Amino acid sequence: MRHKPAAADVALFGRMLAAVPEYNVDAACQVAHAITVHAAEVEDDYFTAVDDLNTGDQDRGAAHIGESGFGAGLFYLYICIDRQQLVENLQGNSELADQAIAAMAEAAVKTSPKGKQNSFGSRAHACYVLAEKGNQQPRSLSTAYLRPVTGQDQTLDAIRAWSAKRKRLMMLMKQGR
């Protein structure tokens, strides 16, 4: 076992071994929970499952009756990677760090939840992405959606709300606040 990992996933997300703390690795990546930018309602999917091997001689009932909550939404997701920490975690391997960052960015943009695909078929990719690089304090722009987006074009409205929030923050940063 190594004190510093050679694997990008451990270098990104950290490792904690309570019994052997010298092998702990501080995470270089923060991933916030995705939130909807609009009011969202949870719908119920009532379903039954039957036993295909049941001949019906003794019992004709369903093998299972249940319901599953689901919802759809336009989500805001925030990810922050401390590149310097990542390189340090990877024993100074900046090439591997850059590959890990590129893979993480691609995954964030293209990955959809895999569960319940036969029922819901969720294959949406990101429709708007901003990547920033710098030494400033990281900040989430999720507060742009404290007032939920409404209207006919929620994607465009969400981008406008997000852009306005970012512009206000940039102006405050320039003023030294």
**pTM of the entire predicted model:** 0.79
> Among 171, 147, 172, 170, which residue's Cα sits nearest to residue 157?
147
Q: How far is CA 147 from CA 70, 87, 142, 143, 162, in A?
A: 23, 38, 10, 8, 11
Give residue 65's pLDDT band: very low, low, confident or very high (50, 70, 90): confident
Asked if 33 and 13 touch (Cβ cutoff 8 Å), the reply is no
Per residue in 77-131, pLDDT (tens digit) is 999 999 999 999 999 999 999 999 999 999 999 987 777 777 777 788 899 999 9
